[in-house]
Structure 1
């Protein structure tokens, strides 16, 4: 297993970690009710997914 030879400075550590950002969830419009919803998840307002009724709302 690799072991660091020297201690990484605080500025280098923070500079590396500055690229870790939370991504905004991508929203699309539901084909049936035209409400915004997340991709690959059943619509919370009408309960459809892939043009099929999968949830009772």
Structure 2
């Protein structure tokens, strides 16, 4: 069975793990409606991408009783 020849020091282990950190998601403002969206993605609130309407979103009607 394979066994490490020498102990890995905590500093060496930390150097190896220095790139394992999570990063925040990039968020930008939609130029059409001002909502937050991911870069290079269609805006989920208006359906625009790069000042062009790509998809038509259905209007959700509020139920009034």
TM value normalised by structure 2 = 0.63
Q: Which has the larger radius of gyration?
A: 2
* Partner of residue 33, structure 2: 33
Q: Quote the RMSD (CA, aligned, Å).
A: 1.9
**1 or 2, which has the higher strand percentage?**
1
Map residues 41-52 of structure 1 onto 2, 5 A cutoff: 41-52=41-52
* Partner of residue 3, structure 1: none
TM value normalised by structure 1 = 0.70
How many equivalent residue pairs? 51
Unmatched runs of 5 consecutive residues or more in structure 1: 1-5
Structure of higher RCO (CA pairs closer than 8 Å, 6+ residues apart): 1
2: distance between equivalents of 1:30 and 1:41? 10
Return structure 1 stretches of 4+ with deviation > 3 angstroms: none
